[in-house]
Amino acid sequence: MSKPALPIVVLISGSGSNLQAIIDAIKARQLNAEIKAVISNRADAFGIERAKQAGITTHIIDHRKHPDRENFDQAMIQIIDSYQPALVVLAGFMRILTDDFVNHYQDRMINIHPSLLPEFRGLNTHQRVLEAGRDKHGVSIHYVTSELDSGPLVIQAMVNIENSDTADSLAEKIHQQEHIIYPMTIQWLAEERLQCKNNQLFFNHQPLTSPLIWENNTLQNSNT
């Protein structure tokens, strides 16, 4: 791999299984990135243990110790910018970010959201998809903009819903897909195969006008 490793900072709030998938892909040399730091807003996030286990610097920034969202976000900006990341990765990060924060990282911050956006923005998506009686579910990776779960869509992975599925079994199926497509997407960025300029996506140097689709372990796209 000739290009330098992509410096990234990962933001988490919980289990950190997506963080683990990124750590593992870097170790396996499938992903040419370097995690400069992991930041959690919760001290008890298991992802912090995962990061420490991997020898990665960690920070706890507890939102409850800040008077408002602006103040919390400014504290995060200070820490994040000290690492000069090319990319900020939201991996199960559960705090809505202010416009100032989002604008500061325009074209440099991605999120993984457990639904086929634009459907089912927000929280508790697995339960809501079941209640809506859908037979398809999925997960989306998008650039973060100030409108929640609405930034440019990079890729969506599809999951079939069976009659026997529960919110827990769907979460597990979604996690399996996430652990494939999140490291893959970050590697595309490291390779500059994927780019975001002024909120416009390019894949293989062509404008990406609809999201890439990952289904049956295969990338479905015209401009690959």
Write out the catalytic residue numbers. 113
The one of ligand NHR, ligand GAR, none whose footprint includes residue 118, by CB under 5 to 8 A per kind, is none
Q: How far is the CB of 143 from ligand NHR (least distance, A)?
A: 9
> Quick check: 151 binds ligand GAR (CB under 6 A)?
no
For residues 150 and 146, give the distance between their C-alpha atoms in angstroms, rounded to a whole number: 8
Closest to ligand NHR by CB, 95 vs 134, is: 95
Closest to ligand NHR by CB, 93 vs 203, is: 93
Site string for ligand GAR, 48-87 (x = CB under 6 A): ----------------------------------------
Q: Which amino acid is at 96?
A: I
Tokens of 167: 């919110």
> Quick check: 114 binds ligand GAR (CB under 6 A)?
yes
Per-residue burial over 180-202, b if 16 or more Cβ lie within 10 Å, else e, is ebbbbbbbbbbeeebebeeeebe
For residues 42 and 51, give the distance between their C-alpha atoms in angstroms, rounded to a whole number: 14
Closest to ligand GAR by CB, 12 vs 26, is: 12
The one of ligand NHR, ligand GAR, none whose footprint includes residue 213, by CB under 5 to 8 A per kind, is none
In the complex, which residues of this chain contact ligand NHR (CB under 6 A)?
A: 90, 93-97, 102, 111, 113, 122-123, 144, 146, 148-149, 151
Q: How is 166-191 classified by DSSP, letter by letter? A: -HHHHHHHHHHHHHHHHHHHHHHHHT
What does the H/E/C string look like for 87-116? EEEECCCCCCCCHHHHHHCCCCEEEEECCC
- The burial class, CB within 10 Å (0-12 / 13-18 / 19+), for 54 is middle
> Quick check: 15 binds ligand GAR (CB under 6 A)?
yes
> Quick check: 183 binds ligand GAR (CB under 6 A)?
no
Closest to ligand GAR by CB, 128 vs 175, is: 175
What is the DSSP secondary structure assignment for residue 4, as one 8-state letter?
Answer: P
SS3 of residue 120 by DSSP: coil
> Quick check: 94 binds ligand GAR (CB under 6 A)?
yes
Tokens of 144: 């973060």
Work out the widest C-alpha separation in the chain, in whole angstroms. 49
Q: How far is the CB of 105 from ligand NHR (least distance, A)?
A: 10
Closest to ligand NHR by CB, 32 vs 149, is: 149
Q: Which helix (H) or strand (E) holds 52?
A: helix 46-53
Q: How far is the CB of 223 from ligand NHR (least distance, A)?
A: 26
For residues 181 and 159, give the distance between their C-alpha atoms in angstroms, rounded to a whole number: 13
- Which spans of this chain sit near ligand GAR (rule: CB under 6 A)? 12, 14-18, 47, 91-92, 94, 112-114, 139, 174-175, 178
